[in-house]
Amino acid sequence: MNKKYQELLRKREEAKKKLVKATKNFKGFKHEDSASELQDLNVKLSQAHLVSIEEEIRELEKKNEK
């Protein structure tokens, strides 16, 4: 469990860095602008990835408490 937990913590830090990088120059979604659409998609995917990792960490912590 500890190895899996440590790996998830590492992945969470990487995902946070990726999200910061994705949002750094993002000024918002501009209609009918493909570059803006790709940036928006990248931000949403980064957010979803981070949420997924954090949920997995919480589940592991709950299992560890039992």
Cβ–Cβ < 8 Å for 58, 66? no
pLDDT at 30 over 90: no
Residue 65: the pLDDT is 82
Residue-wise pLDDT for 6-22, tens only, equals 999 999 999 999 999 98
For residues 9, 12, 17, 18, the Cα torsion angle rounded to the nearest 10 degrees is: 140
Confidence of residue 1 (pLDDT cuts 50, 70, 90): low
User: 19: which residues sit within 8 A by CB, 6+ positions away?
Assistant: 43, 46, 47, 50
